[in-house]
Amino acid sequence: MRHLVRATVLLVVATVAACSPARPGATGPNSSRVAGPAPTSVVAAPTPAAAAADTDDLPSRVVIPALHIDLPVVSGDFTVKGNPADYPLCDVAQYLTTYRFPGHDGFTTWIYGHAREGMFLPILDASTRNNGASLIGADVQVYSTALKRYTYRITGVRRHAVDRSIAAGVPAGERRLVLQTSEGPHGTVPKLQVSADLVETAAASGSDAVPTPQPRGCAG
């Protein structure tokens, strides 16, 4: 029990608050298939020149065609006036700054967002049916500030997670994506984590890769 409490505290700090869903509940048994989340004003969207090099590009958009998810992505350090510190924003997804470089081999990119309508709620809903079996094999497209589109394929669904171990152990020459959202209301610690492996990298246009984010405070 002492170890579980310690892991829970670490998760709260490391994954930047709750990512609370629009409705409480939606829990179930653990999945058996697991592979392996100041300034106070809104700032402009990143431009292609913001990347120091192609390999240091940053996530700027996440798309899951099968779930009709399409969101701009901003830094986990991005703040909006009136939104509590470290509380995820609405109408965007965010990346953990510790896991922010999709162009790095042997690296995990970590993107999180609220389980709300128009955000990551479809991922949570799918996870509650047969432990998320329908998510396995779905493609996730992550666009970047270097005008690239990284296509990942979902390989695992981890429910009720209390740590970041899913990000560890990426083989040399491979890249992993983790998507995280909440399973319960504000303050709920266990998270839903979905992992995916990189299958393709392609060029993208500026209009596709770098949308203009319009984040808003989400605590109300």
Per residue in 104-131, pLDDT (tens digit) is 999 999 999 999 999 999 999 999 999 9
Which of 41-50, 127-136, 194-203 is the least confident region? 41-50
The per-residue pLDDT for 78 is 93
Q: What is the pLDDT of residues 187-218, one digit of tens each?
A: 778 999 999 999 999 999 999 999 999 999 98
pLDDT over 60 (residue 87): yes
User: How many angstroms separate the CA atoms of 127 and 159, rounded?
Assistant: 8
pLDDT mean over 75-89: 91
Q: State the residue for tokens 């209301």.
A: 185
Residue 21's pLDDT band (boundaries 50, 70, 90)?
A: low
pLDDT mean over 52-77: 92
User: How many angstroms separate the CA atoms of 80 and 168, rounded?
Assistant: 31
Which of 32-36, 53-57, 164-168, 170-174 is the least confident region? 32-36
Cβ atoms 38, 79 nearer than 8 A: yes
**Residue 30 DSSP code:** P
The per-residue pLDDT for 218 is 86
Averaged confidence pLDDT in the chain: 82
Q: State the residue for tokens 């700027």.
A: 60
The tokens for 214 are: 């319009």
Domains of the chain in start order, with CATH, are: 2-209 (2.40.260.10)
> Where does residue 149 fall: left (phi above 0), alpha (psi -120 to 50 degrees), or beta otherwise?
beta
Query: CA nearest 157: which of 184, 141, 138?
Result: 138
Q: State the residue for tokens 């393709």.
A: 200
Q: State the residue for tokens 């996730």.
A: 140
pTM to 2 decimal places: 0.78
Higher-scoring residue by pLDDT: 32, 16? 16
